[in-house]
Amino acid sequence: MMLPQLLALSLALAPNLVSAAIFPDNSLVKMIDAKGFKNAMKQNETSVVAFVAPWCGHCQAMAPEYSKAALGLYPLVPLYAVDCDAAKNKKLCADQGVKGFPTVKMFPRGKQLPPKDFEGPDRTASAFFYFAQRNIPHWSKKIHQFEDIEGNVNAEKIINRPRALLMNKSNKMPLLWMVLDNKYHDQISFFNHRDKKGRSSVKLGFEPGEDGQGKILIYPPGEKKPVMYKGILKHDSLSKFFDSILDGTADLSVANEEAATEEFIPDPEVLEIERQQEAEMLALAHGGFSDMIDFEAALKDTAAKNFHAQNGYPGMMGAAPNVDQKYLKKPAGEGQGESSSSSKSKKIRMPMTGDGGEIVMDVTSTVKGAKNQPQTPVPGAEQTEAAAAEEAPSPEPPVEAEAEPVPDHKKDEL
């Protein structure tokens, strides 16, 4: 049997053991190396990358918050982490200008747009969440009047590319629409129009639709008449559909009929993630977390137990596809993961009907006064004045203050 002190000592001497634990096993944060980073940058999508070192206490303190943000943003914005201590990643971290740990950066559209540094106010789940969500580039053009649809969507200079028009009764643009717009920006023109009473739909020859139900109209290249997308309003299904339009070989109406027949077979892992997303939101509604992704604004005017029925999951728009009850019996991974989220979630059933939507909310209420963002300098790196200032004592003592001087063997590694 090992004495606790001995155990602590052996852990301190073996920083790599600690590394495995920086993000919990069930975290949606994906550890990537330089090669994975390169691949991630090839995607035309918004992603967030945390540059960390396993022995850094500020990184460990950040990890649960960063993981919660990853959960809230799933599957629309991936959150990654790079271990800058690993020899194979040192060049990447240096190239990214990492001077202290953790350093968090957002890449708005792979390598196509310059990254943005995360600057606080503090390293909380909601701060990370809004940092990513607010910076998703999107170009979708809002068309206010029905009369203007034709002229905009069928404008000569874009008529030969596919165009996508979101018609919705609500004024808000779902997060999923922004994400798709960002992803397909170079190939598809995006528009959105508020069809408050369904009149525009009728004028275009479609059903007015039920309250809160949106429509996605697709204008095939060269054509002035749209077809209505009939598939599932989820990220994967929509991406698949857009890809099939773009690949040029698929006949759009055939692709659309195929999309219409896609059966919704929930992936148990995704169901579990959605269940946890819901648990997070409910826990927040009941004051369960001190700082959770800020769903408060939505929860204020919606019955908590009906939250998803009205607001859906971040990864989808419109009505949730019906799920066969057999998929909902016993959620996988019960009792694992973070204490409060899983213990609360046991009581929660997942409503899967009704219209879905976005979780984008006004953030003003959550921005607290700027706090220090303590970092641990990269060993051996020259300390700039700014970095030294950041090291200034914070209101709470930095987590690794006593426990974690930079190990000597680390000092000459960089």
Ligand X SMILES: *[C@@H]1O[C@H](CO)[C@@H](O)[C@H](O)[C@H]1NC(C)=O
Does 88 interact with ligand X (rule: CB under 6 A)? no
Query: 75-100 burial, b if ≥16 CB within 10 A, otherwise e?
Result: bbbbbbbbbbbbeebbebbeebebbb
Q: Write the interaction track for ligand X spanning residues 32-51; mark x where CB under 6 A is met and - where it is not.
A: ----------xxx-------
CA distance 255 to 258: 5
* Number of DSSP helices (H) and strands (E) in the chain, helices first: 17, 12
- Bridge partners of 111? 109
Amino acid (1-letter code) at residue 185: H
CB 406 → ligand X: shortest distance, Å? Answer: 39
Sign of CA pseudo-dihedral 368, 69, 233, 235? positive
Q: Is 355 in the site for ligand X (CB under 6 A)?
A: yes
Under rule CB under 6 A, residue 188 binds ligand X: no
Binding of residue 318 to ligand X (CB under 6 A): yes
Q: Smallest distance from the beta carbon of 172 to ligand X, in angstroms?
A: 4
Asked if 226 interacts with ligand X (CB under 6 A), we say no
CB of 190 to ligand X, least distance (A): 12
Name which of 357 and 398 has its Cβ closer to ligand X: 357
- Binding-site member from 47, 60, 89, 168 for ligand X (CB under 6 A): 168
Least gap, CB of 214 to ligand X (angstroms): 2
Helix, strand, coil: what percent of the chain each, to 5? 40, 15, 50
Q: How many residues bind ligand X (CB under 6 A)?
A: 19
> Helix 57-73 and helix 125-134: axis angle, to 10°?
50
Q: Is the dihedral of CA 137, 140, 142, 148 positive or negative?
A: positive
* 357 near ligand X (CB under 6 A): yes
Nearer to ligand X, 312 or 374 (CB): 312
Residue placing its CB nearer to ligand X in the complex, 318 or 337: 318
In the bound state with ligand X, the residue whose beta carbon lies nearer, of 247 and 412, is: 247
Residue 209 is a binding residue for ligand X (CB under 6 A): no
What's the CA dihedral at 320, 278, 77, 127 to 10 degrees? 140
Minimal distance, residue 260 CB to ligand X, in Å = 16
- C-alpha–C-alpha distance, residues 37 and 257, integer Å: 37
Binding flag, residue 162, ligand X (CB under 6 A): no
- Interface positions with ligand X (CB under 6 A): 42-44, 166, 168, 170, 172, 174, 186, 212, 214, 233, 312, 317-318, 355-358
